[in-house]
Amino acid sequence: MNSEATHSDKLSDLFADQLDEKQPWLQEASPEELRRIVVTMHRVHSFMAILTDLDLLLERIGDEGRQVAQAEAASVMLYDEKTEELFFHVVLGDKSSPEVLKKEIRLKMGQGIAGTAAQSRQVIHVPDVSRDSRFYSGADDASQFQTRNLLAVPMMERGRLVGVLELVNKVDGDAFSAMDQHVLEVFSFLAATAVVNARLIETQIKHERLAAIGQAIASLTHHIKNIITGLGSSVELIDLAVKKEDFPLIRRIWPILFRSTERISRFVQDLLLAAKPRKAFLQTCRLHEIVMEVCEDVREECENKGVCLEVKADENVDPVSADPDLLSRCLLNLVVNAMEAVPPEKGCITLTLFKKEDGCRCVRISDNGPGISPQVRPHLFDLFYSDKGSRGTGLGLASSCKIAQEHGGTLEVLDSDQGACFLLTLPQREEEPDTLFGESYDISEATENP
């Protein structure tokens, strides 16, 4: 005999020792029945502790109730407070068309045995439904199932109706026993508790999501406002310069206008990448060439800020199977983040390309900025998370991480003695023969000799 059976026997003996005239249903139960009930109760409590999915939990509770009472079928009907109706949420057993019941059958308070049990808040046992005028045959007609007898127990939680738990058709053909009724009352309480807890969690999650959405909208709106302010100022100055035919002023203002349009373009692309699921269009391309194009895109900004941008490429990094546009977007976000973090005139950003022994291609982006604090690291790739205040949207790193995953790769932050260090890894696929590159380039040399 296993330990569970031994434990159940002890509990059964304990129940038997405590029987008195107020518990005739227990006095009539055999030790085997008591053991079966205790084992079932133990399993159900275990489900309550480990299962978080409400549908699965209610299915297990209904199925355990069906088995311990030896019924052909069981169902869990939940109460809709808005319409004051019961609807089938779980249907188990020999029901011919359970989905029909879930979609088509709804009972009003007082309608059918379940509706009457819900309205009266009392257990109803019907040994023969053909002799009970309260029986609603519409469910049988819809599911092509024949109900002979049933037991309906209202699911109550602190005086509040949650639903009705039903057992249908005793397997041996007789009516359900008092033991079955009391066991089902316990199960109905557990089911009601599970439903209420799940709804509380769902409500909490909904409130948290709404709060997160509100915070994200506020952050995005502030970012857009900053960009539009820059655009508006540039347009006003250019308009004034045109009227005065001050072309030197136009030439000075034009780069500012161009950078503002680039910022809003990056913002829109990041927003689309983060919000819209898409599949990477993989093709054979040159990783080194994509990296150099990204560096060229930010070359002027780096020069204006006095930031040194360096690219180092090991041998045999090309070709790679990737979506060039998405990969470029991913790398651009990482480089722009580094460029914003490093100090002016002393900033240094290094992109290192190399091939692992397993064939994976990697790009390591490191800088000499302030680095990433331990508090920030767990949330670094969370959507809309930013530690830059009004300067950040929380889109860039989240989008880059998503792009890496869409390629079947990874984006991770590495430990670094100075500044931040990110590692983009792309998996090995069927590729063309390797192409060799030199060992080290600075930005000016690399862009002149791609």
pLDDT of 145-161, one tens digit each? 888 899 999 989 888 89
Q: How far is 291 from 334, CA to CA, in rounded Å?
A: 11
Q: What angle do CA 324, 325, 331 make, to 5 degrees?
A: 85
Query: Which sign, positive or negative, has the C-alpha torsion 116, 179, 156, 62?
Result: negative
- pTM of this structure: 0.47
Q: Does 208 fall in a domain?
A: no
Residues 145/101, Cβ–Cβ less than 8 Å: no
10: domain range?
A: 3-202
Q: Does 193 fall in a domain?
A: yes
* Residue 159 shares a structural domain with residue 291: no
Domain boundary residue, one of 202, 235, 265: 202
* Residue 326 shares a structural domain with residue 233: no
Give the contacts of 368 (CB within 8 A, at least 6 positions apart): 342, 343, 346, 347, 348, 418, 419
* Residue 258 shares a structural domain with residue 330: no
Q: Look at residue 446 in the predicted model and tell me its pLDDT.
A: 41
Q: How far is 395 from 275, CA to CA, in rounded Å?
A: 10
Compute the CA torsion angle 418, 424, 428, 431 (nearest 10 deg).
-100
Distances (CA, A) of 91 to 88, 103, 300, 309, 404: 7, 12, 66, 64, 43
* Residue 444 shares a structural domain with residue 302: yes
Give the contacts of 92 (CB within 8 A, at least 6 positions apart): 59, 62, 63, 66, 73, 74, 75, 98
* Residue 315 shares a structural domain with residue 433: yes
Q: Does 307 fall in a domain?
A: yes
Q: Does 41 fall in a domain?
A: yes
Give the contacts of 351 (CB within 8 A, at least 6 positions apart): 291, 295, 309, 310, 311, 312, 331, 335, 363, 364, 365
* Residue 258 shares a structural domain with residue 378: no
* Residue 265 shares a structural domain with residue 287: no
Query: Which sign, positive or negative, has the C-alpha torsion 179, 185, 188, 189?
Result: negative
Residues 361/437, Cβ–Cβ less than 8 Å: no
Domain boundary residue, one of 151, 168, 202: 202
Only one residue has tokens 């045959």, namely: 137
Residues 395/382, Cβ–Cβ less than 8 Å: no
* Residue 109 shares a structural domain with residue 228: no
Question: Nearest to residue 336, comparing CAs of 300, 372, 361, 312?
Answer: 300
* Residue 314 shares a structural domain with residue 250: no
Q: How far is 396 from 220, CA to CA, in rounded Å?
A: 12
Task: Note the Cα 173 to chain centre separation in Å.
Answer: 46
What string of pLDDT tens digits covers the 450 residues of the chain?
455 455 445 444 544 444 444 566 666 667 777 777 778 777 777 777 666 677 887 888 888 888 888 888 888 889 998 899 998 888 887 655 677 787 788 899 999 999 999 999 999 999 999 899 999 988 888 888 888 899 999 989 888 899 999 989 988 767 888 888 888 888 788 778 878 887 787 777 777 766 666 655 655 565 566 567 667 777 777 888 888 888 887 787 777 777 677 767 766 766 666 666 667 788 888 999 999 988 887 887 888 888 998 999 887 887 888 888 888 888 888 988 888 889 888 899 999 999 888 888 999 999 998 888 877 788 777 766 666 554 555 677 888 888 888 888 999 989 888 889 999 999 986 544 443 333 333 433 443 333
* Residue 337 shares a structural domain with residue 432: yes
Give the contacts of 253 (CB within 8 A, at least 6 positions apart): 234, 237, 238, 241
Q: What total of structural domains would you count in the chain? A: 3
* Residue 247 shares a structural domain with residue 290: no
Q: Look at residue 351 in the predicted model and tell me its pLDDT.
A: 93
Say which CATH number the domain at 86 has. 3.30.450.40
* Residue 239 shares a structural domain with residue 346: no
Domain boundary residue, one of 146, 174, 202: 202
